[in-house]
């Protein structure tokens, strides 16, 4: 009888161990499934429109938001910055943005300011250089500076290969970058709230 009890006890122990292992494996599999679904959800979120609040943005300042994994710059331009766009008109390679980079410039944007006419002082652009995908740096101060011309009117400088862009995101002539910075589709929910990636016609 004692031998049978020992055998039964051994079988029970084996059964418990097997069930426990199966439970752990099941949990591990469930964890793997959950983590497999997560990137897909994140990918969806990355492509969704993004709401930007610019209520605290002062003239001459810029805020950065993320949309589809890319930086989107929102620059509130001063009257002096706006005036500089006429001066750079003949110095940029594509003043009317006829050659898009990854997206057409929205038809409701003015050619020179590259912004909605009712908010022409606000530039909304994707901060990715059209050469090799680096992110340019802001160089808003006018005048001679390292790596910039003496008549610099303010704008952006790509640190990777020296491409320069004016305060409308238009690339200067004879630079490595072949196209202007992208202007995403967007709409104003109010004077201080902007929806990036969606406009009156739908999502970008």
Residues with catalytic function = 161
Three-class SS state of 17: helix
Q: How far apart are CA 6 and CA 204, in angstroms?
A: 71
| Angle, CA 177 vertex, CA 176 and CA 180 arms, to 5° | 155
Q: How far apart are CA 81 and CA 72, in angstroms?
A: 19
Q: How far is CA 33 from CA 27, 39, 43, 65, 168, in A?
A: 10, 11, 16, 31, 46
Tokens coding 186: 């967007």
Identify whether the C-beta of residue 112 lies closer than 8 Å to the C-beta of residue 89.
yes
């Amino acid at each position: 009888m004692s031998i049978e009890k020992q055998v039964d006890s051994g079988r029970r122990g084996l059964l418990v161990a097997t069930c426990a292992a199966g439970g752990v494996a099941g949990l591990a599999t469930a964890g793997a499934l959950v983590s497999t679904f997560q990137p897909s959800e994140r990918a969806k979120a990355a492509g969704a429109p993004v709401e930007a609040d610019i209520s605290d943005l002062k003239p001459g300042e810029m805020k950065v938001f993320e949309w589809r994994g890319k930086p989107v710059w929102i620059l509130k331009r001063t009257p002096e910055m706006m005036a500089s766009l006429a001066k750079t008109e003949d110095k940029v390679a594509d003043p009317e943005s006829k050659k898009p980079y990854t997206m057409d410039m929205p038809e409701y944007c003015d050619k020179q300011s590259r912004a909605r006419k009712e908010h022409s002082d606000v530039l909304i652009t994707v901060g990715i250089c059209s050469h090799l995908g680096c992110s340019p740096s802001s160089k808003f101060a006018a005048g001679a500076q390292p790596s910039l011309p003496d008549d610099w009117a303010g704008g952006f400088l790509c640190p990777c290969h020296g491409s320069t862009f004016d305060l409308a995101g238009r690339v200067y002539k004879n630079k490595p970058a072949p196209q202007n910075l992208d202007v995403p589709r967007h709409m104003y929910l109010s004077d201080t709230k902007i929806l990036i990636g969606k406009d009156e016609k739908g999502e970008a």
